[in-house]
Amino acid sequence: MLIRAKKRSWHVPGTSDAHVPNVLLRDFCATAPNQKWATDVTEFNVSGQKLYLSACMDLYNGEIVAYRMARRPVFEMVSSMLDAALSRTNCVAGLIVHSDQGWHYKMQPYRAMLVRRGVMQSMSRKGNCFDNAAIESFFGTLKAE
């Protein structure tokens, strides 16, 4: 007799189930600063300890607009990074902030921060790392060096 394991659904309280489209569509080219940003969180092993980095990259020139580090991948790390990035510029009209579908980016306070500033949110398709390749490539280079 074959018994299938039940699939578990992990829902983080405070996250939105609203569908966020992939507005970026792998078009990583920008003709001016503050048109398209890519963001993600990565994990480092430093002397046997985990360290998490949340970074935001301007796709115009590859500049890291803001970053935050923490010992745990907490929401405050991601939200303070976004706040720092948005506070660097007054001109966010037409800005797209692209991320994967991590729980941080689905949190209502994160989404509200984007809406308040008039920023369009874009998310990768589920399980497709190529949709966020620009920031993933940066993290790969950073870890290799």
Kindly report, residue by residue over 37-81, the tens digit of the pLDDT. 999 999 999 899 999 999 999 999 999 999 999 999 999 999 999
Give residue 97's identity as a one-letter amino acid code. V
User: Where residue 8 falls among pLDDT bands split at 50, 70, 90?
Assistant: low
Average of pLDDT values for 12-33?
A: 82
pTM: 0.86
DSSP letters, the chain, are ---PPPPP----TTB--------STT----SSTTSEEEEEEEEEEETTEEEEEEEEEETTT--EEEEEEESS--HHHHHHHHHHHHHT-S--TT-EEEE-S-HHHHBHHHHHHHHHHTPEEEEPPTT-GGGGHHHHHHHHHHHH-
Mean per-residue pLDDT over the chain, rounded:
89
| Contact (Cβ atoms closer than 8 angstroms) between residue 104 and residue 15 | no
